[in-house]
Structure 1
Amino acid sequence: MPDTGLALDLARLTLVPCPVPLVPTAQLPHPERALANGEVIRVRRGVYAPRARWLVLRPWQRYLARVYAVAMLYPDFAFSHESAAALLGIPVIGDPETVHVLVPPTAAARESAGIRSHRTERSAAVLTIGGLLLTSPGATAVTLARHRHEAIGFAALEAALRMDETLTPQALRADNDSRLSSRGRNHARWALDRADGRCESVLESLSVATIEWLGFPAPEIQHEFTSPHGITDRGDLWWEEAGLLGEPDGEFKYDGRFGDPAELLRKRRQRDRRLLLGGVRAVTHWGWIEVARIDPLRAQLMGQGLRQIAPETHAPLRSLQRLLAPYDRAITRSRRERTTQRRENG
């Protein structure tokens, strides 16, 4: 494989830990009894997890646990695609059903029991981290950009660039150009032409892609504002001509895992006031549902005075909407549960 500049400092990389304890059959005295009693759940044949712990996992956490279960059973496997992404902390959308691994070019590429093997030359892009074999952040992101939805590839590339300070957009493009399959090369170029590492979250990356396909002007990403009192705030998506700041916060920011939601919202209001005093005309916040449904995001931006400057690109919008449908359902369900809980407590 040609030198594509994807070298990195391995000492800086750590894997995302398994989100739930995994127990092999050998360590579970009576697995079928424990399964029947509801004590455990079978992650895959030969590996179990405590049922109560499993049920509270989010979809991408369950996928990560399944990857670790495969690693427990097959320690010589080298992980790729979404499986490597999950281990590295590169965003994985939803709960993929398949664990992806690499096999030599002479082996058969096939899918069996939830494991899909991909023929490839083992190269410097395969690393050993935490005892597991997997493709590097850059190689993983390029693979996703070549084979997945453009917005998914863009989010993966942005995450890889943030993760590895030595990685450059030029190195990612060189890696893509060095691979076989012109179809994959051409498909990846949309994301590669836009990736520069400025988007700080997967929702921000998906928002930037959706905004372009909706025909709105491209925002400046991560613009700094200084208040009259000298306080500097950094805004996510800034349209200077419209005086509009867009903030893709996401519902998870205010669900309690990052602190008291009321206090976080109070600080957000304070920050918004500073921004408005500092020359921002309007600040608008949105989350996963607005991006997943697309129409609410379009209406929200137009309602704040932003105008479309190009026709909408319908094909990627429709396919992204299908991909994000599970997030829409999960967040809607979570909102209903929180509302019910507040009523019961109130």
Structure 2
Amino acid sequence: MHPVLRAAADRQWGLFTAVDARRAGYGHDEIHALHGAGTWVRLRRGVYTTAERLDALGGRPHGLECLAVLLSLDRPDAVVSHGSAARLLGLPVWDGLERTVRLTDPQQWRTGAGFRVNCAPLHAHEAVRHGPVRLTSPARTLVDCAREWPLEDAVVAMDAALLAGRTTLQELSLVTAAQPCWRGAPRARRAIDLADGRAESPLETRGRLRIVGSDLPSPELQVAIRAGGRLVGVVDAWFDDAAVAVEFDGRVKYTDPWHERSPGQVVWGEKRREDDLRALGIRVVRVADADLGAPWPAVAQRLGSLLATSGPATRRFSAAPRALGRRRSA
């Protein structure tokens, strides 16, 4: 590959256009021959990459498809948005999200094979750069998604972004304030009202929403329990009046534990911690992924019964909510 064309490809995740190729001295017949031989692969009309590059990537990741659409449309003001931006930002996405490339352009609405362009206003602070691609900011992305996604999935994505420090509730509220009459705006506002960046996993978010939806009190999240001058543990959810702790048991806690602990060490540590909590008069309810489905009414009934009775008359522990959740790390 000519150095001029290679330089253009290096700036664009390995993609280049027919215009880039002609600028490097490749004629129409040569471009056609390289494509016909399989050396170059056409992703969109006038947009190419090399077969070697695709092999190295193991396929056509969504970010590559987004950039290919942007290059083919040649719309300088268009940005990657909605679910496509969520994917590029590394946010949790709705399981039912299609692979259609989503873009926003302040001047033009358009749809085509595998892409959709929404025509909508876009303020300067609502666009960020991700390598060669411009995309909507985390706050704008989350609100755009929340206007279309199921409520629970929107809150999961918001919680994850808040936990990671990618946005704030204030930023989310400012975006929705600028979209008062947009389609789906009430859905986005509901998601923001339910979001809480202290949730440390999608299971914790979904479990909290199940609790709220069962006409039970909203729990405090990430509450540190201390006794005898030491930290007994940090519980996922806490009901102070009843001294009831809820622990959300995701499978990843045991199959991919933190800090190089073995699954056996995690199980043993969890048992010891729960024994210590119970010894203090704290009731503990464990909730797994499967409990959020058909078994949930029984779980909610049990939790409601526990909340109907007071905790120990004399407390030998203190309970203090943490201001922030902890991001999972190795």
TM-score norm. by structure 2 comes to 0.66
What corresponds to 2:140 in structure 1? 139
Q: Distance in 2 between matches of 1:272 and 1:217?
A: 23
What corresponds to 2:171 in structure 1? 171
Partner of residue 262 from structure 2, selected from 260, 263, 266: 260
Residues 83 and 102 of structure 2 are in contact (CA less than 8 Å); yes or no, is this contact kept in structure 1?
no
Residues 245 and 284 of structure 2 are in contact (CA less than 8 Å); yes or no, is this contact kept in structure 1?
yes
Residues 139 and 172 of structure 2 are in contact (CA less than 8 Å); yes or no, is this contact kept in structure 1?
yes
Residues 144 and 156 of structure 1 are in contact (CA less than 8 Å); yes or no, is this contact kept in structure 2?
no
- Which residue identity lines up with residue 298 of structure 1 in the other structure? P
What corresponds to 1:81 in structure 2? 82
Deviation of 1:178 (Å): 0.8
Query: % of aligned pairs identical?
Result: 26
Q: Distance in 1 between matches of 2:194 and 2:104?
A: 31
Residues 216 and 304 of structure 2 are in contact (CA less than 8 Å); yes or no, is this contact kept in structure 1?
no
Residues 127 and 135 of structure 2 are in contact (CA less than 8 Å); yes or no, is this contact kept in structure 1?
yes
What SS is found at the alignment partner of 2:298? helix
Report which of the two structures shows the higher radius of gyration computed on alpha carbons: 2
Q: Distance in 1 between matches of 2:95 and 2:228?
A: 43
Deviation of 1:236 (Å): 0.9
Deviation of 1:127 (Å): 0.4
What corresponds to 2:107 in structure 1? 106
Deviation of 1:174 (Å): 2.3
Cα deviation, 1:269-299, whole Å, max 9, x if unaligned, reads 1222232234422242322x222x2x31331
Cα deviation, 1:285-343, whole Å, max 9, x if unaligned, reads 322x222x2x313312423554799xxxxxxxxxxxxxxxxxxxxxxxxxxxxxxxxxx
Corresponding pairs, count: 260
Cα deviation, 1:205-254, whole Å, max 9, x if unaligned, reads 12211221222221111111013361252111112233321122312222
Deviation of 1:177 (Å): 1.7
Cα deviation, 1:8-34, whole Å, max 9, x if unaligned, reads xxxxxxxxxxxxx9999x89x869xxx
What SS is found at the alignment partner of 1:193? helix
What corresponds to 1:192 in structure 2? 192
What corresponds to 1:297 in structure 2? 296
Q: Distance in 1 between matches of 2:178 and 2:67?
A: 33
Residues 104 and 120 of structure 1 are in contact (CA less than 8 Å); yes or no, is this contact kept in structure 2?
yes
- Which residue identity lines up with residue 216 of structure 2 in the other structure? F
Cα deviation, 1:18-51, whole Å, max 9, x if unaligned, reads xxx9999x89x869xxxxxxxxxxxxxx885689
Q: Distance in 1 between matches of 2:298 and 2:272?
A: 25
What corresponds to 1:67 in structure 2? 62
Q: Distance in 1 between matches of 2:250 and 2:185?
A: 32
**Pairwise CA RMSD:** 3.6
What SS is found at the alignment partner of 2:173? helix
Residues 282 and 304 of structure 1 are in contact (CA less than 8 Å); yes or no, is this contact kept in structure 2?
no
What corresponds to 2:311 in structure 1? none
- Which residue identity lines up with residue 219 of structure 2 in the other structure? P
Partner of residue 272 from structure 2, selected from 270, 283, 295: 270
- Which residue identity lines up with residue 96 of structure 1 in the other structure? L
Q: Distance in 2 between matches of 1:307 and 1:279?
A: 12
Deviation of 1:197 (Å): 1.8
Residues 154 and 192 of structure 1 are in contact (CA less than 8 Å); yes or no, is this contact kept in structure 2?
yes
Residues 158 and 198 of structure 1 are in contact (CA less than 8 Å); yes or no, is this contact kept in structure 2?
yes
Residues 97 and 114 of structure 1 are in contact (CA less than 8 Å); yes or no, is this contact kept in structure 2?
no
Segments of 5+ residues of structure 1 without an aligned counterpart are: 1-20, 32-45, 55-64, 310-346
Q: Distance in 2 between matches of 1:238 and 1:244?
A: 6
TM-score norm. by structure 1 comes to 0.63
1:286 aligned to 2:262?
Answer: no
Deviation of 1:199 (Å): 1.6
Residues 147 and 184 of structure 1 are in contact (CA less than 8 Å); yes or no, is this contact kept in structure 2?
yes
State how 1:1-346 maps to structure 2 within 5 Å: 48=54, 66-71=61-66, 73-74=68-69, 76=71, 78-94=79-95, 96-110=97-111, 112-123=112-123, 124-164=125-165, 167-179=167-179, 181-228=181-228, 230-256=230-256, 260-287=262-289, 289-291=290-292, 293=293, 295-304=294-303, 306=305
Q: Distance in 1 between matches of 2:168 and 2:191?
A: 14
Residues 102 and 117 of structure 1 are in contact (CA less than 8 Å); yes or no, is this contact kept in structure 2?
yes
Q: Distance in 2 between matches of 1:283 and 1:131?
A: 48
Residues 158 and 205 of structure 1 are in contact (CA less than 8 Å); yes or no, is this contact kept in structure 2?
yes
Q: Distance in 2 between matches of 1:201 and 1:306?
A: 26
CA 1:98–1:305 in 2, change beyond 3 Å: closer, same or farther? same
Deviation of 1:132 (Å): 2.5
Residues 236 and 246 of structure 1 are in contact (CA less than 8 Å); yes or no, is this contact kept in structure 2?
yes
Residues 23 and 49 of structure 1 are in contact (CA less than 8 Å); yes or no, is this contact kept in structure 2?
no
Deviation of 1:81 (Å): 1.5
